[in-house]
Chain A
Amino acid sequence: MRTAVSYLVRLTGAAAFVVPGPAWADAARDFEARVRPLLVAKCQECHGAKVAEAGVRLDSRRGLLQGGDEGPVVVPGDAGKSRLIAAIRHTGNVSMPPTGRLSDDEIRVLEEWVIAGAPWSGPGGDEGAPSPSRAEEMAERIATARAEHWAFTAPARHTPPDLAPTFPDDMREAWQAAPLDRFIATGLTAAGLAPAPPAAPRDLVRRLFYDLTGLPPTADEADAFCANPSAAAYLALVDRLLASREHAEHWARKWLDLARYADTMGYAFDAQSPLYPFAWTYRDWVVRALHADLPYDRFVTLQLAADEITPPVPREDLAALGFLTVGRSFLGNTHDIIDDRIDLVTRGLMGLTAACARCHDHKYEPISAEDYYALHGIFASCEIPEELPVIGDPPAGPEAEAFAQKLSELRQALTDHEAAVHVRGVREAVAHAADYFLETARPAKRGGDHRPPQLGDGYDLEQLVLDRLTRLTAKAEATHPILGPWAALRGLADGEIGPRLEALVAGWGEAPDPQSVNPLVRAEFISARPSTLRQLAEAYGRLVARVAPEWAGGTAPVPEEPAELATLRKLFGVEGSPFVVPRADAMRLALRGESTEHRRKKQEITKHFATAPGGPPRAMALVDREHPIDSHVFVRGNPAKHGPQVGRRLPQVLGGTAVDRNSSGRLDLARAIVDPANPLTARVLVNWAWTHHFGRGLVETPGDLGLRGAPPSHPQLLDDLARRFIDDGKWSLRWLHREIVTSAAWRQTSAGTAEALARDPDNRLFGRANRRRLEWESWRDSLLAAAGTLDRSRAGGPGVDPLALTSMPRRSLYGSLDRQDVPGIMRVFDVANPDTAVHVRSHTTVPQQSLAVLNSPLVVEAAKQVAARTAREAGQDPDKQIVATWRAVLSRSPTEAERMLARGWLAGIGDVPVPADFGSSERLAQAVLASAEFQFID
């Protein structure tokens, strides 16, 4: 019975008349006995003091009344208006609890309790301290985080302690000079450990080449260093490699991981090509910038705001904006695109996981939803220009002419298609003008999809035309010389229309004033005598047809037209009148097939830009919109639910400074990111570089320096290096690389002592080097280097097949990457997911990697080329061939034992038949290419 009452209450909201059942006579006891246990068991884990999902807390009465992002969750006495009840009944848009519906009894208890006025007793009742508002709470979290969290105060210089007396004497000299080394030594000594000895020269030179350039040394280069492994020779080699383009290419690829670079936008509808024809101009810009050692602050500023800088930057630098634009297109969903850019800038550059605040205040970090939408406004104030800016000259000659010629043809075809759609669309609208009139006055009942009706002949009324006609007729009064009769009669029943029209016509008299009725309208009515609304609409339809453009089935205006015809034409026949929709809106009238064709034609233009030779390079630029906007908070991330509007500014935790009002504010954003006082940027960058050099970060969550990120293993080292990177290094990445690879810490051997392995198995103290597997790009490049076919001379330009080895003997960096379909072999080798900023790739070991080593055409092809090379260099002598193979593949000569092993192997393999193009030298080459040594760096 009570259930029935409750139900009634929910429907009517007439709670005031319901007296709660006897169970609620002792509210305090009932609350404690029945309600509080339920709230504790089922709700408070997610809606309590520790976590407040959706901002809702169910551990105090105030929490119920204050509610969350969407208002109160309980209206005392009114179950129907209480969102809590809708949620547990699964009748609203939120169903709770997520672990499963409450039992019917439990639901009834809570419902009765709400109807009884949601009485509360004990802790959490009204007497308790008021819970702070969401904003106050956030402000406090931000203040606390800024005061207490290590990463939110600017890094300071630190002086490392001197080496401890227990530090091994033989390493003292090498370890005491650089601050970096003394920090590492301090950590090791404190743990009772000593550093590993320096790496052998041959290991060191190979490591250095791979680390700085992603390529192996040739055997001759390695021999030369081993012959003179002096400190001076090492420094000279470091400088030579740092200045090489190969170095810029190698580190550009790491930066491109962070920039979630790909050559396609992701999935595209029907005929569209997903290609970004000019993504490569961004990739090439990164290579050039690193090769020129562009200071990091400038490097970042150009990538965020090259277009806003005054005086204008050289046009080539606009390519830097690709950083923001080479992400996934999310089928054009603006808010997802913006979210991707916010994540890139905050997490990518600053290790701040702000994108979590899209739906609500960050649960852990001091980032509010307002902070998120303050950044949202910055990117919502930008757009990709219709035509990408040209950043270089087209190649001179006939190709460029052919390019321009073809481009204008394609553009003409697109215009022609739009014109044809326009003609067809308007012609059909004019032909159905009467139906439009009728629909405005007596709209047909619409289906659930709210589409305008379809007519008997299969024609769908166009909402666009309907809206335009409705706007025109709605404001016309009964005195309008053309639309007046329509306005006067359209609301009448059919039976009344004839007599009323007769009266109107009679009232006009024989020669009425053209100002009160247009003579053509009068003549039409006199000849047609419409007596139903349809007939009246048809009369107007004929008037429309009479003055519609000739190309739409009407008549062309003649010179000195009579005034009545001219006014009728002005109302119904000129472009911009209801039926003659503006040419610019033509595609809004398109049929499905016409839309597909339109996309296809646009696509041909994009494809032309992308593939036809002779076109100029362009930047994947971003520009500010004419009118920058501030975004509203989207409640729970829903763009349809606007919260307060937020001015464009930096996150509060970084000071909250407003950005320029007259532009999107990207330049101010960039400047704030690379401000020497910014606590995050330099730390993130230094940690990023360190991670790639050492195979393990000082902070092991390189994209998260927030409260939930990992604390640094060597905080003073990180801060000191970050500070010196700015102050001494002047943001030079080359300075930073040099600082690291010339350190004694980096030059240790990777062979750890048993004690070190036992005491520090994860090498968190950096007491040895970390052995690493080559990343995909280095591995493939090394196959080419071994084959002797790597083409180092060609740099830049549009991407090519990333798996080809013979047709594309270029570095893997120049492979085209389709984010929609990253080749399986590359994913298996852990290439970065191009949909999110990746600081460090994952490292897996799975048999598919080895399967590729054994059987992929890539390795088989490389083996053939290595064999061809060794045959050229060493002839047919097996011993010489073995030596040549080792030197080509492993950059060293074989040991005596290896030579004997290979010799014996060659002698014994003749009994199994093999094809002529994969004989013993090819098989030898593949066996060595497949070795662990080829794939790992000591």
Chain B
Amino acid sequence: MSCDHDSAHAPGLSRRAALHRTGLGLGWLAAAHLLDTGSRAAAAPAPPTSLATRPPHFAPRARAVIHIFANGGPSHLDTFDRKPRLEEYAGREIPTHLPTERRTGAALPSPFRFTRHGESGLEVSELFPAVARHADRLLVVRSMHADVPNHEPSLMLMNCGDARLVRPSAGAWVTYGLGTENQNLPGFVAMCPGGYPIKGPENWRSAFLPGAFQGTYVDTKKRSVEDLVQYVRHPLITPDAQRRQFDLTAALDREHLAARPHDPQLEARLVSMELAWRMQFEAGEAFDVSREPKHVLDRYGDDVQGRQMLIARRLVERGVRYVQVWHGEGQPWDSHEKLEQNHRRLAKESDQAIGALLDDLVGLGLLESTLVLWGGEFGRTPTVELPGSGTDVKEPSGRDHNHHGFTVWLAGGGVKGGTVYGATDEFGFKAVDKPVHVHDLQATMLHILGLDHTKLTYRHSGRDFRLTDVHGTVIKEMLA
């Protein structure tokens, strides 16, 4: 019996192997593969195992999402939901007092001035002047509500559609449903400077979906591209030297494939090597904001928020499907105390960068096809949080968590700009007019992306799971 390694493998040349041998490189194969995958995806219902682009259920309004996560729970009462009645009741008990995480007392009027902006006359507080420039593009949803007043379950609800059970994140669902447009970049990027938010990578997990759909975490506090993107560069040798090495591997692989024709797995692996090679450069380039002209950097602000919003823009420009931008490690917006100082600082950190991001999306014509979502996991109480046994708050100067009513805003992606949807009660405690549950927001977001939230499912454990579980209503009134 022969012991020649390749004896069992037919020496016949596949169409592709033949092309390699005739001098057409891997680049050609990569392109062919992508085309292939595209057409295959339209016909085959098998669950996707690659990041190749897949068609939506119906014509989409947007093809990408930027979710700016003001983690910790920004106060709607001090930003986008003005409540004059709180001034009337300042220092007094208000008639409706709902249970939240901690003890709260009398009404706390907002220390911030609200003014009307744009033709729509949308009211925005002085905290967000740059965002307010885009008032006519914002759809402010003032009637959001969630289930409980605690960070962990509310983060899970907002990101994964379930407060406790292990479910995939919205970004993973979207990437699973649509693939991504640029194979040289991850399809779903989660940026958070300085470390993880509360609940860490659970916020961008893929759970029972294949790992390829999990968000790629990037610590945007870091500056160098090598630190931002894992494995983007060979740690020891230059691209030139590495290219030589890569060529040898490619030559060996071509021989290997030639002896094993008709194997889609090996072909896909070959393609993915070529893609990875290019990814090194494209990912490096995408995350390298130093390539932007100075006037652009100045508009965003040369700080963490400026850099990460700029990266967000560069990623969406390059076809990344889902970008999440967290304010920072932990729960920065959680102003139980000294709300005035804290909210002023946090808004100042992010306003300029968000405004510049919106400017650029408009300027580049990308806002139409990009849904921007800003908000936290919940809002804050109209009543002041009291010091006492359930808290480490020393002085009554902040607000507790409030899941009964809060605000998020959306822009782009065909949403109805310059409008307010829904309302909280006269004190801003509870969503009363046209309440929007988190599941409704998720259903609407998927709808904007051309996905039917009841049809984007994955069979696991004997049943078809979806982002919105058995809930969620698409709110067509939000769409222009």
Interface set of A (CB-CB < 8 Å, partner B): 53, 95, 98-101, 197, 199-203, 226, 229, 266-267, 269, 328, 330-331, 333, 336, 343, 347, 353, 355-356, 362-365, 447-451, 454, 458-460, 462, 591-593, 703-704, 706, 708-709, 749-754, 757, 771, 773, 820-822, 824-831, 833, 835-836, 842-857, 860, 892, 895, 897-898, 901-902, 905, 908-909, 912-915, 917-918, 923-924, 926-928, 930-933, 935-936, 938
Question: How distant is the Cα of A99 from the Cα of B440 in the complex, in angstroms?
Answer: 10
Question: How distant is the Cα of A347 from the Cα of B208 in the complex, in angstroms?
Answer: 15
Question: How distant is the Cα of A754 from the Cα of B10 in the complex, in angstroms?
Answer: 10
Question: How distant is the Cα of A197 from the Cα of B1 in the complex, in angstroms?
Answer: 13
Chain B 185-220 per-residue mask, 1 if CB under 8 angstroms from chain A, else 0 = 010000000000001111000111011101011000
> Are B8 and A827 in contact (CB-based, < 8 A)?
no
Q: What's the least CB distance linking B138 to chain A, in Å?
A: 24
> Are A846 and B51 in contact (CB-based, < 8 A)?
yes
Question: How distant is the Cα of A269 from the Cα of B198 in the complex, in angstroms?
Answer: 9
> Are A824 and B217 in contact (CB-based, < 8 A)?
yes
> Are A933 and B256 in contact (CB-based, < 8 A)?
yes
B345 at the interface (CB under 8 A from A): no
B265 at the interface (CB under 8 A from A): yes
Chain B 69-105 per-residue mask, 1 if CB under 8 angstroms from chain A, else 0 = 0000000000000000000000001001111100110
Question: How distant is the Cα of A749 from the Cα of B164 in the complex, in angstroms?
Answer: 47
Q: Which residues of chain A are near B230, meaning CB under 8 Å?
A: 824-825
> Are B260 and A842 in contact (CB-based, < 8 A)?
no
> Are B272 and A850 in contact (CB-based, < 8 A)?
yes
Question: How distant is the Cα of A897 from the Cα of B254 in the complex, in angstroms?
Answer: 13
Segment at the A interface, from B273-281, B316-324, B351-359: B273-281
Q: Which residues of chain A are near B470, meaning CB under 8 Å?
A: 53, 98
> Are B276 and A336 in contact (CB-based, < 8 A)?
no
Q: What's the least CB distance linking B91 to chain A, in Å?
A: 15
Query: Is the contact region of chain B dominated by helix, strand, or loop, or is it mixed?
Result: loop
> Are B200 and A267 in contact (CB-based, < 8 A)?
yes
User: Can you list the 5 inter-chain pairs with the closest CB atoms, starting with the nearest?
Assistant: A353-B462, A850-B276, A827-B211, A449-B99, A448-B97
Q: What's the least CB distance linking B326 to chain A, in Å?
A: 16
Question: How distant is the Cα of A315 from the Cα of B230 in the complex, in angstroms?
Answer: 45
Q: What's the least CB distance linking B364 to chain A, in Å?
A: 26
Q: What's the least CB distance linking A712 to chain B, in Å?
A: 17
> Are A901 and B390 in contact (CB-based, < 8 A)?
no
Known: A827-B206, A847-B272, A923-B241. A751 touches B260 (CB 8 A): yes
B246 at the interface (CB under 8 A from A): yes
Question: How distant is the Cα of A936 from the Cα of B270 in the complex, in angstroms?
Answer: 12
> Are A200 and B461 in contact (CB-based, < 8 A)?
no
Q: Which of B6, B231, B255, B268 contacts A856 (CB 8 A)?
A: B231
Interface set of B (CB-CB < 8 Å, partner A): 1-10, 49-51, 93, 96-100, 103-104, 152, 164-166, 183-184, 186, 199-202, 206-208, 210-212, 214, 216-217, 230-238, 240-242, 244-249, 251-253, 255-257, 260, 262-263, 265-266, 268-270, 272-273, 275-277, 279-280, 386-392, 454, 460-463, 470-474, 476
Q: Which residues of chain A are near B235, meaning CB under 8 Å?
A: 855, 857, 860
Q: Which of B10, B214, B246, B255 contacts A854 (CB 8 A)?
A: B246
> Are B5 and A923 in contact (CB-based, < 8 A)?
no
Question: How distant is the Cα of A450 from the Cα of B216 in the complex, in angstroms?
Answer: 43
Q: What's the least CB distance linking B225 to chain A, in Å?
A: 12
Q: What's the least CB distance linking A227 to chain B, in Å?
A: 8
Known: A847-B279, A851-B231. A333 touches B164 (CB 8 A): yes
Question: How distant is the Cα of A460 from the Cα of B166 in the complex, in angstroms?
Answer: 37
> Are A845 and B252 in contact (CB-based, < 8 A)?
no
> Are A845 and B276 in contact (CB-based, < 8 A)?
no
Known: A336-B164, A845-B265, A923-B237. A353 touches B463 (CB 8 A): yes
> Are A846 and B8 in contact (CB-based, < 8 A)?
no
Closest B residue, CB atoms, query A749: B8
Question: How distant is the Cα of A936 from the Cα of B236 in the complex, in angstroms?
Answer: 26
Q: What's the least CB distance linking B287 to chain A, in Å?
A: 14
Question: How distant is the Cα of A460 from the Cα of B460 in the complex, in angstroms?
Answer: 48
> Are B275 and A933 in contact (CB-based, < 8 A)?
no
Question: How distant is the Cα of A933 from the Cα of B248 in the complex, in angstroms?
Answer: 13
Given A98-B472, A909-B244, A928-B249, 5 other A-B contacts at CB below 8 A? Answer: A353-B461, A703-B462, A851-B276, A930-B246, A932-B253
> Can you give 18 contacting A-B residue pairs, CB < 8 Å?
A99-B473, A328-B166, A330-B165, A362-B462, A447-B99, A593-B392, A750-B8, A831-B211, A846-B51, A848-B231, A849-B276, A851-B232, A854-B273, A854-B280, A898-B255, A924-B248, A931-B249, A938-B260
Closest A residue, CB atoms, query B472: A98
Question: How distant is the Cα of A267 from the Cα of B50 in the complex, in angstroms?
Answer: 29
The residue among B186, B200, B236, B265 with the most chain A CB atoms within 10 A of its own CB is B236
> Are B5 and A200 in contact (CB-based, < 8 A)?
yes
Question: How distant is the Cα of A837 from the Cα of B366 in the complex, in angstroms?
Answer: 42
Known: A202-B3, A365-B462. A100 touches B249 (CB 8 A): no
Closest A residue, CB atoms, query B30: A847
> Are A448 and B96 in contact (CB-based, < 8 A)?
yes
> Are B474 and A752 in contact (CB-based, < 8 A)?
no
Q: Which of A229, A454, A854 contacts B231 (CB 8 A)?
A: A854
Q: Which residues of chain B are near A935, meaning CB under 8 Å?
A: 269
Question: How distant is the Cα of A462 from the Cα of B10 in the complex, in angstroms?
Answer: 81
Q: What's the least CB distance linking A585 to chain B, in Å?
A: 15
Q: Which of B165, B245, B390, B460 contacts A592 (CB 8 A)?
A: B390
> Are B98 and A449 in contact (CB-based, < 8 A)?
yes
> Are A100 and B462 in contact (CB-based, < 8 A)?
no
Question: How distant is the Cα of A892 from the Cα of B210 in the complex, in angstroms?
Answer: 34
Question: How distant is the Cα of A293 from the Cα of B1 in the complex, in angstroms?
Answer: 35
> Are B9 and A267 in contact (CB-based, < 8 A)?
no
Q: What's the least CB distance linking A56 to chain B, in Å?
A: 13
Q: What's the least CB distance linking A171 to chain B, in Å?
A: 15
> Are A833 and B208 in contact (CB-based, < 8 A)?
yes
Q: What's the least CB distance linking A930 to chain B, in Å?
A: 5
Question: How distant is the Cα of A857 from the Cα of B7 in the complex, in angstroms?
Answer: 35
Question: How distant is the Cα of A928 from the Cα of B255 in the complex, in angstroms?
Answer: 13
Q: Which residues of chain B are near A854, meaning CB under 8 Å?
A: 231, 234, 242, 246, 273, 276-277, 280
Q: Which of A826, A843, A931 contacts B252 (CB 8 A)?
A: A931
Question: How distant is the Cα of A353 from the Cα of B103 in the complex, in angstroms?
Answer: 43
Q: What's the least CB distance linking A924 to chain B, in Å?
A: 7
Q: Which of A364, A833, A842 contacts B49 (CB 8 A)?
A: A842
Known: A448-B96, A902-B248, A927-B245. A820 touches B1 (CB 8 A): no
Q: Which of B8, B103, B238, B473 contacts A98 (CB 8 A)?
A: B473
Known: A754-B262, A915-B236, A918-B237. A847 touches B275 (CB 8 A): yes
Question: How distant is the Cα of A821 from the Cα of B217 in the complex, in angstroms?
Answer: 11
> Are A895 and B5 in contact (CB-based, < 8 A)?
yes
Q: Which residues of chain A are near B252, meaning CB under 8 Å?
A: 898, 901, 927-928, 931-933
Q: Which residues of chain A are near B201, meaning CB under 8 Å?
A: 820-822
Known: A454-B388, A898-B252, A912-B238. A98 touches B471 (CB 8 A): yes
> Are A846 and B50 in contact (CB-based, < 8 A)?
yes
Q: What's the least CB distance linking B104 to chain A, in Å?
A: 7
The residue among B199, B256, B273 with the most chain A CB atoms within 10 A of its own CB is B273
Q: What's the least CB distance linking A423 to chain B, in Å?
A: 16
> Are A860 and B234 in contact (CB-based, < 8 A)?
yes
Known: A336-B164, A848-B276, A935-B269. A356 touches B463 (CB 8 A): yes
> Are B240 and A912 in contact (CB-based, < 8 A)?
yes
Question: How distant is the Cα of A614 from the Cα of B135 in the complex, in angstroms?
Answer: 65
> Are A845 and B99 in contact (CB-based, < 8 A)?
no
> Are B211 and A842 in contact (CB-based, < 8 A)?
yes
Q: Which residues of chain A are near B277, meaning CB under 8 Å?
A: 850, 854
> Are B390 and A460 in contact (CB-based, < 8 A)?
yes
> Are A932 and B256 in contact (CB-based, < 8 A)?
yes
Q: Which of A857, A912, A917 contacts B244 (CB 8 A)?
A: A912
Q: Which residues of chain B are near A226, meaning CB under 8 Å?
A: 3
Q: Which residues of chain B are near A343, meaning CB under 8 Å?
A: 461
Question: How distant is the Cα of A331 from the Cα of B155 in the complex, in angstroms?
Answer: 14
Question: How distant is the Cα of A820 from the Cα of B156 in the complex, in angstroms?
Answer: 13
Q: What's the least CB distance linking B222 to chain A, in Å?
A: 15
